[in-house]
A and B are shown apart, each in its own frame.
Chain A
Amino acid sequence: MATVATPAPGPSQAHATGRSRMRRILRGIARPYRQSHGVARFMLVAGTVLTTVMVITAVFAPLIAPYGFNQVADAGGERFGNHLEPGGDHIFGTTVQGLDVFSRVVWGARTAVSVVFLALLFSLFVGVLLGIIAGFVGRWLDRVLVLVMDALYTLPALLLAIVVAFLLAEYVGGGVTTAALAITAVYVPQYFRVVRAATVSAKEQTYVEAARAMGAGPVTIMGRYLLNNVVHSVPVIATLNAADAILTLAGLGFLGYGIQPTEAAEWGYDLQRAVSDAGAGIWWTGLFPGMAIVLLVLGLTLVGEGLNETMNPALRVRRLLPVVMPTRTPDQEEVAR
């Protein structure tokens, strides 16, 4: 019997598939926005706006911040002055050391966004990978991983982050990397659990069995079949984790375990300094960095909760639209007894 060789996809076809996948992804992102309604939609939209504003601030920090995060004097060498009230050149005032609060808030946004983004990327990667492997391979590897992850999960997040940061400080020194790695350690178990659970249930599906019967190797099965399934559970958790990670980072900074002040601006660190200011009634050094944290975390949480309400079938609410019943037309008259 003659075998027919399937022609390799021509360049136009490959181009088309690339574009349609992009379109599919975009449509997937747009779907929750279109499907949500009521409170969920409000949360989703408001959250997205807030988060976007913060991210833009972070990305364009050098353009937005009037001064550097470590700057105590202007271009002419003249010092700013300590504890200046908000107004004039310093719309948020200055700290006890003469640093411009507004600039520090803006630079702090950059620090927060980049550290958390990196950390979540790492933990997502590691967690998903380990989760799929554990779920798929099973047996002793699975048991050991589950045991370890559960133990890590039960430890208080901040405590774990502090301990890891404390330890890493010996190796790597304080700074962005330490903070990012500490936060990674905290969230890996989350992704691991969710992904492993999804993998375990997906593994039993008949289409996986069929794939195996056709001779698909484990990597193919994990990559092509299982990954798709588990991807759906991730967005909600990722946004909520991001919110939590911002808080953990700030907590680390507050305790002196995050970024060193000379390396970058960090909101938690600023708040630590502001506590002593509170006794003297100086409010602007703490209020603004604090508000920044609140807004970013609020934005991320709103997105996460909004997504959850829209996509989680247990919580979804059918949209109620008013019904107007037309009066009876002669075509449909009923004879009443």
Chain B
Amino acid sequence: MTEAVLSARDLRVWYGTESGPVRAVDGVSFDVHPGETLGLVGESGCGKTTLGRGLLGLLPRGAKVAGEVRYRDTNLVGLRPRELQALRGPHLGMIFQEPLTRLNPLLRISDHFEETLRAHEPELSSEDARHRALEALRGMGIPPTRYSAYPHEFSGGMRQRIMMALALVLRPSFVVADEPTTALDVLVEAQIIRILADLRRNFDTALLFITHNLGIVAEACDRVAVMYAGRIVEQGPVREVFARPQHPYTRELLRSTISLSTTGLHYIPGAPPDLVDPPSGCRFHPRCPEAMKVCRERFPQPMDVGEQRVECWLHGPDELIPYGGREPLIREEITVADEA
């Protein structure tokens, strides 16, 4: 297997609040390889957006980052702002969620492109800049006649495609796409998924695709990482994880997906945990249908099951489970009030 473009090791992102630090990302490790799309899924509030932003250093003031994010021999954590800024654009890219407000309303699209290109390649002539911008736009299906238009003259879907062209015009090797299609309708969504697939093929771009839509993951991603309460509970090739989910949470998520064959609504009882004071041991234990005694006491070890990696006591290691730990966990009924 080729060298990973980006490797995260024990990444933590915490915010300070008045009730204590919010552990939005609490020890996450994964790799992304060239030409590979890693899907990052989870419920709202599990920390996926923070993770995506944290990789690129786009966190608000007051967020603390620890751990290691290796991009081609450089650790992005602790990098000086100016060095990080130099990497963003030609090496690291970001596609945001809400396209309507992501373009400066006073500037033309051409201005946006020229600014981005000139920021990293100052000697670029305007002809060349224009040429590259138009090429990037063409790849997104935006005709060159619209190059001098203003942002408000485009629809939401087109603006997202322009944003993507902007993010990709410098051909970054690693791109984070933070729920790029959530704000758009299904047809536009399909278009964009197709474009991203082309990227993977043509430019070997490594993509981290953050979403809460499992269907997109199944369609567009090579590997998937399932996130819960700031940790990745399961990761592996999409086919394997979806066919043989090893973590109870993944199983529940898959069961909750609605399709044409759904007859009854399935949901996971309880609510996502408080990230300031997460549950002890395995963070999923209050809602897990297969919880055991040890799950409340000890934090599970990451275990390899085939090509997948899971953090769940169901997979051992047995030496670390104390006597009687495999007994089912007796919890109080999760009442409706807890869901609030």
Contact = CB atoms under 8 A, between A and B. Distances in A.
Interface in A305-337: 318-325, 328, 331-332, 334-337
Nearest to B21: A323
B16 A322 contact: yes
Contacts of A328: 10
Interface in B183-240: none
B16 A321 contact: yes
B62 A318 contact: yes
Interface string B58-73: 0011111010000000
Interface in A272-331: 318-325, 328, 331
Contacts of A337: 7, 9, 29
Interface string B280-300: 000000000000000000110
Contacts of A323: 14-16, 21, 62-64
B3 interface: no
A334 B66 CA distance: 14
A330 to B, nearest CB: 10
Contacts of B17: 318-319, 321
B270 interface: no
B299 A336 contact: no
Nearest to B281: A331
A311 B27 CA distance: 36
B302 interface: yes
A320 B64 contact: no
Given A321-B17, A325-B64, A337-B9, A332 B299 contact: yes
How large, as a class, is the contact surface on chain A?
10 to 19
B9 A336 contact: yes
Interface in B60-107: 60-64, 66
A334 B15 contact: no
A335 to B, nearest CB: 6
A193 B5 CA distance: 57
Nearest to B62: A320
A325 B299 CA distance: 18
A164 B14 CA distance: 60
A323 B60 CA distance: 13
A36 to B, nearest CB: 13
A68 B12 CA distance: 70
Contacts of A336: 9-10, 29
Contacts of B62: 318, 320-321, 323
B51 to A, nearest CB: 15
A318 B60 CA distance: 10
A325 B12 contact: yes
B279 to A, nearest CB: 13
Interface string B18-62: 100100000101000000000000000000000000000000111
How large, as a class, is the contact surface on chain B?
20 to 34
Contacts of B63: 323
Contact of B9 (A319, A320, A334): A334
A335 B29 CA distance: 9
Given A320-B61, A325-B64, A334 B29 contact: yes
Contacts of A322: 16
A319 B299 CA distance: 31
A322 B16 CA distance: 6
Nearest to A322: B16
Contacts of B15: 323
Given A319-B18, A331-B298, A325 B27 contact: no
A144 B21 CA distance: 55
A244 B21 CA distance: 43
B24 to A, nearest CB: 11
A335 B16 contact: no
A312 B9 CA distance: 40
Given A321-B62, A323-B64, A335 B21 contact: no
Nearest to B19: A321
B70 to A, nearest CB: 11
A318 B17 CA distance: 8
A320 B21 CA distance: 10
B14 A325 contact: yes
A285 to B, nearest CB: 50
Contacts of A325: 12, 14, 21, 64, 66
A33 to B, nearest CB: 15
Contact of B302 (A324, A331, A335): A335
Contacts of B298: 331
A318 B62 CA distance: 9
Nearest to B301: A335
Contacts of B10: 328, 334, 336
A322 B18 CA distance: 10
Given A321-B18, A337-B7, 18 more contacts: A318-B17, A318-B62, A319-B17, A319-B18, A320-B16, A321-B16, A321-B21, A323-B21, A323-B62, A323-B64, A325-B21, A325-B64, A331-B299, A332-B27, A334-B9, A334-B27, A335-B302, A336-B29
CB-based closest 8 A-B pairs: A321-B16, A320-B62, A323-B64, A323-B16, A323-B14, A334-B10, A323-B21, A325-B66
7 contacts: A318-B60, A318-B62, A320-B62, A323-B15, A323-B63, A331-B298, A337-B29
Interface of A: 318-325, 328, 331-332, 334-337
